[in-house]
Structure 1
Amino acid sequence: MLLKKVKLLSLFFIIAGISVARAQYKQFRSSPAVVVAGQSFDIAYDASGTSLSGMGNVKGIAYYYADFGWHGIDLKLSSTEKNKWSATVNSQKNWAMVAFKFMAGDSVDSNSGQTGGFLTPYAQLLRNPEDTARNAKGALAIWGLFRSSKYGFEIPDYLNQGKFVTDTVVSMYLQKELEQNHLPEYKSAFAVAYATSMYGAYGESSAPKISAVVNYLTRKNAPQTDMLSAWQILHNTQQPVKADSLGKAIEKKYSGSFIAKLEAYKAFAAQKDQAKMKEQGEEFLKKYPYDPVYAGLDRAYQIDYNRVYLTVILLQIGNNDFSVIDRYIDQLPYLSVINVYYKTVQIAHHRQSIDDKYLYTYSELLLKRMQAFKTNVPEAYQSYSPEQWLRFYNDYYIAGFFPMVLEHISVCRGAGKYEEGLQYAREAESFQHYSKESLNDDYVFLLNKTGHSDEVNEVLIKSIYENQVSAPMLDLLKQNYISKYKSEAGFEKYLQSLKNASASKLSKEDLTMINKAMVNWTMTDLKGKKISLVSLRGKTVVMDFWATWCVPCKASLPGMNLAVQRYKNDPNVVFYFVDTEETEPDYKQQIRQYLKDNGYTFNVLFDNPMLKGKGTGEVFARVSKAFQISGVPLKLIIDKNGVVRYMTSGFKGSATALSDEIAQLIELTKKQN
């Protein structure tokens, strides 16, 4: 046992010795090697032999630990020769440590692997400006803690996944820190990590030290945060009876304590009745508003404010009452804004279940909230440097925020907010580069409505090049062509000449040929006439399975209409639009009205009633089983012998692209005959 203690003690002093001159590596140096907090120092980075070797435009971030939190600054790197980079860092007196990361493109180097058995990322521990023989306050603690993933002190996306130091190493550094700094704020800040790492490293033998920590945290007149730390330690060190007893004491002493908050959240999360869940969620948010002081405890005990906000808001919006957004808009977390927008504005707009003039107010409100995060960094991302946050924000702009902008443009169009919609559309096109049909269509519409018709033809041509054009846009392009040349002759040739050949071609996956007989069927058309697959032998048949309730199905119909018009003079190609999976009693009348309203002259077939269950879908069910697919829209290209050659599902968003896709598949199918 004595030998084990000696070995551990030796290891401690080896590691502690390294920490004093942490900044000297093969690829990374600081000058001077020992830096006092508040002084400026230079760093030199050599990318040779790293993942950044030979790369230009290397960027760097310095993460500094101060006032018990991480913060990031962007380095102004300069280079005088290949692979050599340098910068000056102006530290402040409250800094404890600085960690460095270097990047170029998708490659990152923070030296976060193991070196000589130790995890030694590029870092500089600073000295105490009041006593330069000692490390800065918090430096030893954070050097141990930030290399572990267990205690909430790590830098996001800094260390390699799975490469962390042990509890033994963490506890050693914390022990050394607490020996140097007896200040109450340091004891409180690192107490949970110290006790938990001691227990993880030494088990029951660490009980006396853990008891001493708990006794300090529960001292007379201790703040609630300290008592909660003691409660958390008792949980982490397998002392549930003592934890429960302390929890009751905290709940009794402090009104609205975290213990009561945790119990309220558990009751909310376990509730099955939606009305009661909404009521409990509202009460929870009123009584326990989000407080960053308790963010660590919230994470540790899985209290998810995002879940509460979404539940309360979405349950009320389910009754088409959006006023709840007004109540919580200033509190909504980053991801909640995206989710609320999708569940409220986006769905209602696509379904046209709520007037756009009403939706506009909330679309704008949520969009402004999202935009505010660009300059007001959320608490969870405070460690990011300004450039790093902007990159992260822009990534989410693509995934979450940009779809909101596109939807808002469309809502502005429907609400008559043409100038505002055009402003957003211009910005969106500079990002999207005419590669999204719905945006292009809105842009053209808004240009016309705001008196910018002179720009329309250029937008049409750029959209055609990307093959992202709606049917109305195509009609407008044709009108412009006829106006210029006084004839429709040559328009198709002109149209094809405008397209980017690569944008019009299908991928190899789309061109994978099938060679399987179509299931036999007989269905009834709009006039009550029975049509069978057998009766269509000798023709290339395009079958489009769709439904009145299916938004992408109906969105694809303008493109399918273009394809129908393309082959209207070819007697050997026929299109049938099979309406399926309907449950409404008047669905046939709905279809007739829909076709009339949109000017479609499609050959529609009504799928047969299901043999078991309600609604239609007997043919589609057999097709789904035979070809192992599910869901509409589904388009099958069948050759003259009744064999399915190609199949495509979903809708990618462009009428002209869909028309070209169907045409390519028809021509390829013809060649198989």
Structure 2
Amino acid sequence: MKRITLLGSMMVLLFTCVVKAQERKPFNVIPLVPVVGQDVKFTYDNSLTSLADEQTVYGTVYSWQNMRWEAEDLKLVKNDTVWEATWQVPLRCALVVCKFYAGDKKDTGGRVTYATMTFNKNGQNLPSAYVAWGMLRNKTLESLPGYCEEEAYIDDEVMRYWLNQQLLKDPEARKYVFYYAAKFLNKIAPGEKHEQMLGDIDYVMNLPRVDEETLLKALEVARNIVRDTAKATGVEKKILTDYPNGILARDKEIWKLFRELDLDGKEAKLDAFLQRFPTEKFRDVETETTRLYYGKIFQSVVYNRIMKKDDYSGVKKYLKDVPFSMLPTFYWHIVQVPLNTGQAKVEKVLPHGKVIFEEFTTRDRWGNDRVYSPAEWAKRLRTDYSNTFLGHAIALAAAGESAEALSIMEEIKGAYNFKSAEFNDLYVRLLEKNGYSSLVIPTIISSVRENAVSPEMLDRLRKDYLTKNKDDQGFDAYVNSLKSQEQTEEMHAKLKNSLIKEKIDLFALEDLDGKKVDLSKMKGKIIVLDFWATWCSPCKASLPGMQMAVNKYKNDPNVGFYFISTMETASNFRENIREFLKEKNYSLDVLCDNVNLKTKKRDAVYSAYSKAFKFSGIPHKMIIDGNGYLRWSSNGYFGSPSALAEEIGFIIETLKAEK
């Protein structure tokens, strides 16, 4: 006869009572006592939950295996009013947890949660079931962050109960409970050298067969919680002796490789490292050392080849070994930066970008990332790393691969939601090129509502307006009517609050032809200064919006715009600027920063202002009123030409109204 634990008997009894008392529950597990290796059915009635109005519901099932969570997508099928899914319980699964969601709304069962323990064929709970049950819902030891709703959390005294229950139910539980107990006790009485912790470390050290991860937890307790140097040294020595090619030994080699200064010799050492510590063996290992330093080793080796020899072969050579978190960085430095700065042509970098992007989008989840189901992981890529997707679409579009570029843009459309002018501008151009002209104007209108449009998009909207009206005299009013009045008022209030009034020295600078322009002699005129450089991508990205502002006030003699080129190092920087302005069809008055007599760098005016008004970095914009006071100072660029032009215009009009 099969043995059922006390908890299992109580659950069966409770299930029987509940079914008799209440026919409908939002969540059911059939059978109520799930057995590892066998199928279970989950049923979910969303009409009884916060997802009641949703027509399509998705689900994730989390299984606690080997002291970590593994997430899978539930294949839910609608059966009348109930969603159903069948799932096979993994052999080492001690606890099962379900989540149901639709869009950004989720349901995890409120106070009780949708969680259930599993049993083996003898009716016994699997090791770590009780501690997992408590850790799911305790903030001190929370194992699945973001799962529980607030009312589901248990306090530390209840967590202590579950830790003790685990020790009572499983005689061998001490070897994995000790670590969580130590963290728990350290939270209650931080810094105390608990004898129980020291005893647990000795217990682990004396186990006949102990895995390295358990020893590493003992090392963490000795080093960071008990802070016993001698004890930590002993644990470390045992780990390195028992596991000479294990996790700790690997971490020590990573630290040595990271500090290696000989970049030419570093590659050979990295190759030897990968032979000794193959990536496949450590795929699920994540330590502080790997997180902080491992990816940077690949970065230095691969970039060294590119910088010194224009050799990109290291990309393909190491790509399968590079940590996932470093892949977007690789794409940024190898593709996006060279294209943004004009240092490389798209034909040169895109082939390598395609290889990186393929690895980035198809690599399976490693280690702690398995807490995301495949569907959740795919969504996370397109939201958290949308910049990489957009960068790849930009590169594809530049190479004439419009169909593929549009396909990628559709994937990340929801992540931007018309709030990025860069995204919107490219999306409109790709719609045109791929034959979806009917979607162009609606897209531009949606972008205007978010105040995230480029000058080209506004020109396209103006043409459409002209075809429907006799002239464009009412166009500006039409555009303003599309914008959210509430957002506009909020922006204006914020800009008013940002106004300052500080005395500022004005300097004489040269224009591109060497002619002196003395700003101090422009009293009575509102002066807009924009510090920028040809090597600065954000600076150049902000210029379309500044050109819109320049166009608005080009016939106003009381407003002057000056774009101060600063920190330029090339001897022919003037010619580079001329070529850039011609290429972009900009009509901007560019002045050249003066030479700093102390440093001999061309940043004298920028340096004086940055020290006086406590800012750093470019682009930086300053607006000075007709009385010679600095009234507005703004650093950086936030991505929308139309919003920037509107900000500049609002400040100018506010200053005009003061006269």
Structure 1 residue matching 2:493: 3-state secondary structure: coil
Residues of 1 paired with 2:441 and 2:290: CA distance?
A: 58
Choose which of 186, 208, 212 in structure 2 pairs with 1:217. 208
Cα contact 1:435–1:463 (8 A) shared by 2: yes
Query: CA, structure 1 residues 642+451, in 2 after alignment: closer, same or farther (shift >3 Å)?
Result: same
Structure 2 residue matching 1:664: 3-state secondary structure: helix
Amino acid at match of 1:371: T
Say whether residues 1:490 and 2:474 are aligned partners. no
The residue number in structure 1 matching 2:628 is 642
Deviation string, structure 1 residues 94-137 (Cα, Å, up to 9, x no partner): 3433345677856776678xxxxxxx9764333432x33x4345
Query: CA, structure 1 residues 279+191, in 2 after alignment: closer, same or farther (shift >3 Å)?
Result: farther
Residues of 2 paired with 1:300 and 1:583: CA distance?
A: 38
Choose which of 116, 125, 128 in structure 2 pairs with 1:124. 116
Query: CA, structure 1 residues 494+456, in 2 after alignment: closer, same or farther (shift >3 Å)?
Result: same
Deviation for aligned residue 1:477: 5.2
Query: CA, structure 1 residues 110+574, in 2 after alignment: closer, same or farther (shift >3 Å)?
Result: same
Query: CA, structure 1 residues 177+296, in 2 after alignment: closer, same or farther (shift >3 Å)?
Result: farther
The residue number in structure 2 matching 1:70 is 69
Choose which of 95, 98, 111 in structure 2 pairs with 1:97. 95
Choose which of 140, 155, 170 in structure 1 pairs with 2:144. 155
Deviation for aligned residue 1:352: 1.7
The residue number in structure 1 matching 2:493 is 508
Which blocks of at least 5 consecutive residues in structure 2 are unaligned?
19-24, 186-192, 223-227
Say whether residues 1:618 and 2:604 are aligned partners. yes
Deviation for aligned residue 1:138: 5.2
Larger radius of gyration between Structure 1 and Structure 2: 1
Residues of 1 paired with 2:450 and 2:626: CA distance?
A: 33
The residue number in structure 2 matching 1:558 is 544
Amino acid at match of 1:359: V
Cα contact 1:262–1:303 (8 A) shared by 2: no
Residues of 1 paired with 2:579 and 2:643: CA distance?
A: 27
The residue number in structure 2 matching 1:586 is 572
Query: Number of matched residues?
Result: 615
Residues of 2 paired with 1:230 and 1:571: CA distance?
A: 76
Cα contact 1:42–1:89 (8 A) shared by 2: yes
The residue number in structure 1 matching 2:391 is 407
Cα contact 2:137–2:154 (8 A) shared by 1: no
Query: CA, structure 1 residues 557+597, in 2 after alignment: closer, same or farther (shift >3 Å)?
Result: same
Cα contact 2:47–2:53 (8 A) shared by 1: no
Cα contact 2:620–2:634 (8 A) shared by 1: yes
Residues of 2 paired with 1:228 and 1:436: CA distance?
A: 45
Residues of 2 paired with 1:528 and 1:141: CA distance?
A: 75
The residue number in structure 1 matching 2:189 is none
Deviation for aligned residue 1:166: 9.5
Deviation for aligned residue 1:350: 0.6
Cα contact 1:471–1:559 (8 A) shared by 2: yes
Amino acid at match of 1:390: A
Amino acid at match of 2:471: G
The residue number in structure 2 matching 1:289 is 278
Cα contact 2:610–2:616 (8 A) shared by 1: yes
The residue number in structure 2 matching 1:6 is none
Choose which of 531, 535, 546 in structure 1 pairs with 2:517. 531
Structure 2 residue matching 1:561: 3-state secondary structure: helix
Say whether residues 1:322 and 2:312 are aligned partners. yes
Deviation string, structure 1 residues 568-601 (Cα, Å, up to 9, x no partner): 2222222222222333333334333433444444
Deviation string, structure 1 residues 552-572 (Cα, Å, up to 9, x no partner): 222222332232222222222
Amino acid at match of 2:258: A
Structure 1 residue matching 2:618: 3-state secondary structure: coil
Which blocks of at least 5 consecutive residues in structure 1 are unaligned?
1-15, 113-119, 180-186, 219-224
Deviation for aligned residue 1:478: 5.4
Query: CA, structure 1 residues 302+194, in 2 after alignment: closer, same or farther (shift >3 Å)?
Result: farther
The residue number in structure 2 matching 1:354 is 344
Query: CA, structure 1 residues 579+395, in 2 after alignment: closer, same or farther (shift >3 Å)?
Result: same
The residue number in structure 2 matching 1:365 is 355
Choose which of 27, 33, 36 in structure 2 pairs with 1:35. 33
Cα contact 2:534–2:577 (8 A) shared by 1: yes
1:136-215 correspondence to structure 2 within 5 Å: 136=126, 139-140=129-130, 142-143=132-133, 154-158=143-147, 172-179=164-171, 192-194=175-177, 196=179, 214-215=205-206
Residues of 2 paired with 1:235 and 1:515: CA distance?
A: 55
Cα contact 1:235–1:243 (8 A) shared by 2: no
Deviation for aligned residue 1:641: 2.0
Query: CA, structure 1 residues 323+584, in 2 after alignment: closer, same or farther (shift >3 Å)?
Result: same
TM-score (normalizing by structure 1): 0.74
Deviation for aligned residue 1:275: 4.0
Deviation string, structure 1 residues 530-552 (Cα, Å, up to 9, x no partner): 33344212222222222232222
Structure 2 residue matching 1:408: 3-state secondary structure: helix
Cα contact 2:127–2:170 (8 A) shared by 1: no
Deviation string, structure 1 residues 360-385 (Cα, Å, up to 9, x no partner): 21222222223325xx444423344x
The residue number in structure 2 matching 1:543 is 529
Residues of 1 paired with 2:525 and 2:597: CA distance?
A: 30
Structure 1 residue matching 2:630: 3-state secondary structure: strand
The residue number in structure 1 matching 2:250 is 261
Query: CA, structure 1 residues 579+193, in 2 after alignment: closer, same or farther (shift >3 Å)?
Result: same
Residues of 2 paired with 1:77 and 1:298: CA distance?
A: 39
TM-score (normalizing by structure 2): 0.76
Structure 2 residue matching 1:644: 3-state secondary structure: strand
Residues of 2 paired with 1:29 and 1:327: CA distance?
A: 49
Structure 2 residue matching 1:560: 3-state secondary structure: helix
Residues of 2 paired with 1:617 and 1:300: CA distance?
A: 40
Cα contact 2:175–2:214 (8 A) shared by 1: yes
Residues of 1 paired with 2:584 and 2:42: CA distance?
A: 69
